Amino acid sequence: MKRPGPLLTLLAGLLVGVFMLSLNATTGTRNASSSPPTTATPTPTPKSSPAPSPSPSKTPIPDARYTGRTDDDSASVAVTLRGGKALAYYCDGRAEEAWLKGDVNDDGTMRLTAEDGSVLNGALKEGNRIRGTVDVGGGSQAFTADRTTKPAGLYRATATVNGTETDGGWIVQPDGGQVGILTRDGRPAPAPRLDPGTGAVTVDGQRLTARPATP
């Protein structure tokens, strides 16, 4: 054999890749407990966002979209603010979802409610993060949602497909990940994948367009 170095390099890369892949596949839900990514640094580091970060009080609440996850990483939360009103969507990607609405107070706090009794209490931090709790389906979960930009955010599509009332909600995270629930005649199920660029989604063979959801 001559010059084994390059082959060993490739092999090492392959091993690292396979190792990380198996780690990812086996620890899917453990991450929240081992290293909570968002709660680790609650106060000292306001992200130096290039967007003009508005001062927390006095100025009107800026229109923006926020996406994040619950601290236990079991569900996604997205909030869209517009004109002092807020629309939030809680979605675990399987069965539990809630659309919550309400007003944003001048100090950045908000209490959003849904028809089924779900409640979201949140507070805007530095204009680039919403921290709070959401009570859906009997449990209470803390969440953090960071300010983000298109195509991340909250999407909704309602239509009648083959005579079935369908209502889909999606949360697209800034890293491109997404969760969604599609409710057919009141029965929730994981939603098909949405193209965040165009909002196109195919439901039971029919093409729908999901639109950014606003209050």
Partner 1 sequence: MTVDPNAVTQDFPSPGPGHRRPGAARYLIPALVAGAVAVALGAYGKVHDPAGTVFNLAGFSSTIALKSWLATAAVFFALVQLVSALMLYGRLPGPAWSSALHRWSGRVAFLLSVPVAVHCLYALGYQTYDSRVLLHSILGCFFFGAFSAKMLLLRSERLPGWLLPIVGGLVLTALTIIWLTSALWFFRTFGVTT
By the rule CB under 8 A, 207 interacts with partner 1: no
By the rule CB under 8 A, 69 interacts with partner 1: yes
By the rule CB under 8 A, 177 interacts with partner 1: yes
Question: Would you say 157 and 136 are in contact if contact means Cβ atoms under 8 Å apart?
Answer: no
**The only residue of 59, 105, 109, 149 in contact with partner 1, by rule CB under 8 A:** 149
By the rule CB under 8 A, 189 interacts with partner 1: no
CA distance 148 to 66: 5
- How far apart are CB 44 and partner 1 at their closest, in Å? 12
Query: How many amino acids of this chain bind partner 1 (CB under 8 A)?
Result: 48
By the rule CB under 8 A, 24 interacts with partner 1: yes
CA distance 119 to 138: 10
Could you list the beta-strand ranges (E) of 7-138.
64-70, 76-82, 85-91, 97-103, 109-113, 119-125, 129-136
Pattern of binders to partner 1 over 75-104, x per CB under 8 A? ------------------------------
Place of tokens 């809680």: 90
In this structure, are strands 76-82 and 139-148 parallel, antiparallel, or unpaired? unpaired
Question: Would you say 157 and 193 are in contact if contact means Cβ atoms under 8 Å apart?
Answer: no
Question: Which tokens belong to 97?
Answer: 């979802």
Indicate the residue among 67 and 114 with the shorter CB distance to partner 1.
Answer: 67
Indicate the residue among 89 and 112 with the shorter CB distance to partner 1.
Answer: 89
CA distance 196 to 119: 27
Question: Which tokens belong to 8?
Answer: 């060993």
The CA-CA-CA angle for residues 90, 97, 25, to 5°, reads: 80
- How far apart are CB 195 and partner 1 at their closest, in Å? 6
Residues 6+ apart with CB under 8 A from 138: none
Indicate the residue among 169 and 215 with the shorter CB distance to partner 1.
Answer: 169
**The only residue of 67, 141, 166, 178 in contact with partner 1, by rule CB under 8 A:** 178
Of residues 27 through 66, those in contact with partner 1 by CB under 8 A are 27-28, 30-31, 34-35, 37-38, 40-41, 45, 47-50
By the rule CB under 8 A, 203 interacts with partner 1: no
Rule CB under 8 A: which residues touch partner 1? Answer: 1-3, 5-7, 9-10, 12-13, 16-17, 20-21, 23-25, 27-28, 30-31, 34-35, 37-38, 40-41, 45, 47-50, 69, 73, 149, 151, 173-179, 193, 195-198
